[in-house]
Structure 1
Amino acid sequence: MSPHSAARVVVVGAGLAGLSAASTLVKAGFQHIQVLEAMGRPGGRVYTTRPFGQNVIELGANWIHGQEANPLFLLAQEQGLLLEEKGSASIMCLPGSVTPRDYFFRESRQQLPVDEVEQVCSFFSGLTSRAFESELEPRHSSQSLGGYLDEEFAQSPLAASEDGPRVFEWCKRSECTDEASSSLYEVSASQLGHYVALEGGFFNSLGPGGYQALADTLLDNLPPGAVLCDRPVHSIHWALQEEKNHTRPVRVLCQGGQCFMADHVIVTVPLGFLKENAVAMFEPALPKSKADAIERLGFGTVDKIYLRFEDRFWPHDCAGIQLVWDAGPEDEEVYQHSQSEGGAWRDMWYKKICGFDTVARHPTVLCGWITGREARHMESLDEKMVGEVCVRMLRSFTGWSVPEPAQVLMSKWGSERFVRGSYTYPPPGVDAVREHTALAAPLPLPCEAGYSQAKPLQVLFAGEATHVNFYTTTHGAYMTGIREAQRLIDLYADSELDSYNE
């Protein structure tokens, strides 16, 4: 029996990172792969549902971010999971991106002219592009994204226009959805330049199986029983010494008491879960570099609010109803003050909803997006109350006759105890490349004292937070699972070659 076929690997988490790791190992001939998923379903932050009929609603991942060189897009294309081919109308924009079919309303029920909105949004997009393309001036290198945007906008003639500041604040709120942050003052301006956006737009036309069909493709590569759901991991004991009762260096204990001995464990849990549980989860404790990375990287919440109506009340040429509040611009000092003034912001949590977008293949459904601390607060409210607040806003801004929704559905990623948020962002003052790299480093680290004779690659780490350039994305998660599987494949290929040479 070859060494790799005898190796036992436990994968913690059955999201795209865990499933791609397990699938890659199985295809390479590894025969003892066990995937442990804490939730009652595989998929992780991919969560495809059908609450409104036969067509899917995505409570989790929504887009394939770019098409060129995107392995998930290529996989979906190869498996026939796309409704339309590349270049079709299924290329979408992220929430907050403006199209001529968006209706922007002020609190006074005045609909803003599209050209005025586009002018501000285009200026905002140009500023954020400079950050993402690493074209910032040195004076912005230590600033938050919000601080940089405020400073640049203040120098623009648009800042003196009647509605320019209001629309700019709308742009900032919508950008929080991209960054999974409570505020852009929590996000580094300069570190965004490490993120790489793939060419080809955002693809939102997966077929009737939705995003789950991609996860199912990976599941189909695994043998029966390889994935065990409802198996939350309590602790991972690594660097075990060889004893009579066990010869493998890693022991994985589940909360129900089940124990798995392994040569290697690939940890793919979300960064939010690690922030809450890593200290108690690993024995020995994680090295300081990895513990620091978990603490320093940001991990925020993005939620969706779906409203299903019996009939469509908005015009057929309307792709979204965007809400522009009359409140003046928010600066960093105002935001920091609101952070410390107790629960006042909770009374206005709904102001974080930028608007309500139409939903593909659901002609009577609208979707609102909400982020950060306001999203986490919303999760504590019941769906009926949230629906009433959303309808009240729609009526107040538009003046239209808005009926009560037939159904309200909300995601709750912040309160999901095995996730604790949505995706990663780089805070100000953090070296994102260093922290992503440290988080991805397998254990034991080569430089750790006392582990020179230990078996290599005992604990490996995957997930979107471990990718320097593709954090936040599903393809980043998918690629990191393959990356860690390849480490093990290479390890055993080298050992087999050494055995052959001997």
Structure 2
Amino acid sequence: MSAINRDPKIVVIGAGFAGLTAASHLTKHGYLNVTILEAMDRPGGRVHTTKPFGENVIDLGANWIHGQDGNPIFIMAKEHGLLAENDSCSTMCLPGAVTPKDYFFHQNGKLFDSDEVEHVCQVFDNLMSKAFNEELGPKYKETSLGDYLDEEFSASELISIEGAKMVFEWCKRVECTDEACSSLYEFSVSQLRLYTALEGGFFNSLGPGGYQAILDILLKSLPLGVLVCSTPVKFIKWNLNQGTSPPGEMYPVKVICDNDEELEADHAIVTVPLGYLQEKATEMFYPPLPDWKIRAINRLGFGTVSKIFLEFEKTFWPVDCSGIQLVWEQGHEDKDMYMSMLDGDSWKDTWYKKICGFDTVARHPNVLCGWITGKEAEYMEILDDNIVGETCTRLLRLFTNWDVSNPVRVVRSLWKENPYVRGSYTYIPVGVDAQKEQEALAEPLPSVSCNSTNKPLQVLFAGEATHVNYYTTTHGAYLSGEREAQRIINYYKKSPVSSVGK
């Protein structure tokens, strides 16, 4: 491990996409006195590629590329040959090739007709597209996404189709996973229009290196010794008095690590997850962050999305099966169930109802991956591996009536339990002005425009939560890190560059 540079001028806190991009952008522009402090024993943040099932990787964290056109993550992956699209496309297009499909099962073991499911899902997608792309009107200004979807469903022809309501509720459960919220009744429908979906659609077919291969591009761009892992930050002192010491002996920022190492700097770029800030911001900064900054941190939502990987000795699903989807008579996405969950802990007895289904996993023929979100995901994380594995196996047997053996291994993501993350990604609660709060979260301290005699840009903020249009995504994190690095570069274009060691 590299020793800490004891005289850094720019300290980046966090080595996820935002932090690595900020450091890479700075060093490429000649700002070489940069140190990245990462609390965990590995870089990557919410990207975590690992090999628990042999030689092939799985991604416990990010595994989607959200759109292609103008997406720096997609561009990097494509330029470096990290996509598996050619392999998957060529297989799918061969004459006589089997086209994978999702199997939708009712809890009584009945298999839903695929055309009926597709029809319901298409109606749901149309409603979501409308919410993303159109002004829904003033009546939806303070309305949840769940209430909007319920109202539209009740007014559609689906209301009279047997089984349509249950499949529609499954769609809502999947949307909870996309939005990282416990319930769509907590998520603002009016704020969806701020999110910008890049053209090209979702893309999750990365090559054998997984998301780590994309991270490695950034890591290789950094000078040796810039990254220091296993070094949590305890305090960030800023606005220190610069008039009491000779030039060069006092900096406006001091970063104090858990091991009591102290790093003086001109600038600190804070890229830690929003969930960590929500837990630590009031004690992490001195002087305390201004009220408007704390308000932004606390008003934005930060939810948990967890994966449950199950390895079996052999497959028990058909060769054309890409996923086993679970459709309940009444699941946790139902509004009556949601309202009952607000009081008491009885929902913990049926936490598994939030599992959307189990998908097949690329390059792992004997592995399925279950998805779960919200409070139920947080509860799942504190359970024993055996309990989770047994519960998932029971669900698969109940829904499919297939001969399902016990898994030989269970591997789970634990993002809520991770003390340096505390969740997965950002969502916008009902009643929150997303643009206002995200711009406040991204505002540096002090700003360049403020009327202060102290040095500006002492503490800067990056990460997916700070990007109004691309929150929740890796490219949002990437662009936010580039944004804050460029903010520093632009400042020194108007100032003597020698003060940052360029």
For 1:117, the equivalent position in structure 2 comes to 117
Asked if structure 2 preserves the Cα contact closer than 8 Å seen for 1:84 and 1:90, the reply is no
- Does 1:184 find its partner at 2:184? yes
5+ residue gaps, structure 2, are: 1-6, 93-98
Structure 1 residues 287-346: Cα deviation after superposition (integer angstroms, max 9, x where no partner): 122111101000000000001111111000111101111127965454233211x11000
Aligned to 1:410: 412
What is the aligned counterpart of 2:299 among 281, 290, 296? Answer: 296
SS in structure 2 at match of 1:369: strand
Point out the more displaced range, 81-90 or 359-368.
81-90
Paired residue secondary structure (2:210): coil
Query: What TM-score comes out, normalization by structure 1 length?
Result: 0.93
For 2:147 and 2:170, locate their aligned partners in 1 and report how far apart those are by CA, in whole Å.
Answer: 15
> Does residue 353 of structure 2 align to residue 351 of structure 1?
yes
Q: Does 1:361 align with 2:388?
A: no
What is the Cα deviation at residue 219 of structure 1?
A: 1.0
- How far residue 497 of structure 1 moved from its aligned partner, in angstroms, is 9.1
Whole-angstrom distance in 1 between the partners of 2:137 and 2:218 = 44
Match for residue 272 of structure 1?
A: 275
Match of 1:47 in 2: 48
Q: Is the 8 A contact 1:234 1:254 kept in 2?
A: yes
Q: Map 1:319-398 onto structure 2 (within 5 A).
A: 319-327=322-330, 332=335, 334-340=337-343, 342-398=344-400
Q: Determine the C-alpha separation between the residues in 2 that align with 1:173 and 1:374.
A: 12
Match of residue 101 from structure 2: 101
| Gaps in structure 1 of 5+ consecutive residues | 1-5, 92-98
- Which residue type is aligned with residue 234 of structure 1? K
Kindly indicate whether residue 257 of structure 2 is the aligned counterpart of residue 250 of structure 1.
no
Residue 479 and residue 298 in structure 1: after superposition, are their counterparts in 2 closer, same or farther (change >3 A)? same
Does the CA-based 8 Å contact 2:332-2:338 persist in structure 1? Answer: no
Q: Deviations over 1:225-257 (max 9, x none)?
A: 211111110010000002338411000001111
Taking the aligned partners of 1:203 and 1:412, their CA distance within structure 2 comes to: 24
- Determine if contact 1:134/1:190 at 8 Å carries over to the other structure: no
**Structure 1 residues 414-472: Cα deviation after superposition (integer angstroms, max 9, x where no partner):** 11110000000110100000111000000014676xx6111011000000000000000
Q: What letter is aligned with 2:291?
A: K
Q: Residues 51-200 of structure 1 correspond to what in structure 2 (within 5 A)?
A: 51-84=52-85, 88=89, 101-200=101-200
For 1:401, the aligned partner's letter is D
Q: What's 1:94 paired with?
A: none
Counterpart residue number, 2:95: none
Deviation at 1:80, TM superposition (A): 2.4
Question: Contact 1:105 / 1:322 at 8 angstroms: preserved in 2?
Answer: yes
1:233 corresponds in structure 2 to: 233
Q: Is the 8 A contact 2:443 2:461 kept in 1?
A: yes
Query: Which shifted more, 244-253 or 31-40?
Result: 244-253
Distance in 2 of aligned mates of 1:133 and 1:233: 41
- Equivalent-residue separation in structure 1 for 2:21 and 2:65 (angstroms): 16
Look up the SS of the partner of 1:319 in the other structure: strand
Q: Is the 8 A contact 1:100 1:114 kept in 2?
A: no
- Looking at structure 2, the residues matched to 389 and 414 of structure 1 have their Cα atoms a distance apart, in angstroms, of 20
CA RMSD of aligned residues (A): 2.1
2:333 and 2:361 mapped to 1: Cα distance? 30
TM-score by length of structure 2 reads: 0.93
What is the alpha-carbon distance in structure 2 between the residues aligned to residue 332 and residue 117 of structure 1? 21
Contact 2:269 2:459 in 1 (8 A): yes
> Secondary structure, in 3 states, of the residue corresponding to 2:294?
helix
Distance 1:302 1:121, change over 3 A: same
3-state SS, counterpart of residue 217 of structure 2: helix
Paired position in structure 2 for 1:210: 210
Q: Which residue of 1 aligns with 2:475?
A: 475
Q: Distance in 1 between matches of 2:465 and 2:55?
A: 33
The corresponding residue for 1:96 is: none
Q: Is the 8 A contact 2:331 2:337 kept in 1?
A: no
Between the aligned partners of 2:458 and 2:331, the Cα distance in structure 1 is 53
Alignment partner, residue 313 of structure 2? 310
Compare 153-162 and 266-275 and name the one that shifted more: 153-162
Which letter maps to 2:322?
A: A
Structure 1 residues 86 and 478, CA gap change in structure 2 (3 angstroms): farther
Give the deviation of 1:107 after TM superposition.
1.2
Structure 1 pair 447–331 and aligned structure 2 pair: CA distance change class (3 A):
farther
Q: Is the Cα contact below 8 Å between 2:66 and 2:198 reproduced in 1?
A: yes
**Map 1:400-479 → 2, pairs under 5 A:** 400-445=402-447, 452-479=452-479
Shift in Å, 1:213 = 1.3
Which residue type is aligned with residue 131 of structure 2?
A
User: CA offsets, 1:361-394, max 9 Å, x none?
Assistant: 1111100000000000000111111011000000
C-alpha deviation, 1:496, in angstroms: 4.1
CA distance, structure 1, for counterparts of residue 446 and residue 124 of structure 2: 45
Number of aligned residues = 484
Tell me the SS of whatever aligns to 1:235. strand
For residue 3 of structure 1, what is the aligned residue in structure 2? none
Distance (Å, rounded) in 1 between the aligned partners of 2:474 and 2:498 = 37
**Which range moves more in the overlay, 184-193 or 235-244?**
235-244
Q: Percent identity among equivalent residues?
A: 59
What's the offset of the Cα at 1:108?
A: 1.2
User: How big is each residue's C-alpha offset from its partner over 1:83-137, in whole Å with a ceiling of 9 and x where there is no partner?
Assistant: 335994799xxxxxxx971101111111000111111111111111111113423
Q: Which amino acid aligns with 2:256?
A: L
CA contact (8 A) 2:448 2:457 kept: no
Q: Amino acid of the residue matched to residue 293 of structure 1?
A: A
* Between 240-249 and 182-191, the greater mean CA deviation after superposition: 240-249
Flag the 1:494–1:86 CA change in 2: closer, same or farther, 3 A: farther
Deviation at 1:221, TM superposition (A): 1.3
Q: What corresponds to 2:287 in structure 1?
A: 284
Distance 1:277 1:498 in 2: 34
Q: Is the deviation greater in 201-210 or in 138-147?
A: 201-210
- Cα 1:86–1:72 change in 2 (3 A) is farther
Residue identity opposite 2:437 in structure 1:
E
* CA distance 1:77–1:86, change in 2 (3 Å): farther
Shift of 1:498: 13
What is the aligned partner in structure 1 of residue 9 from structure 2? 8
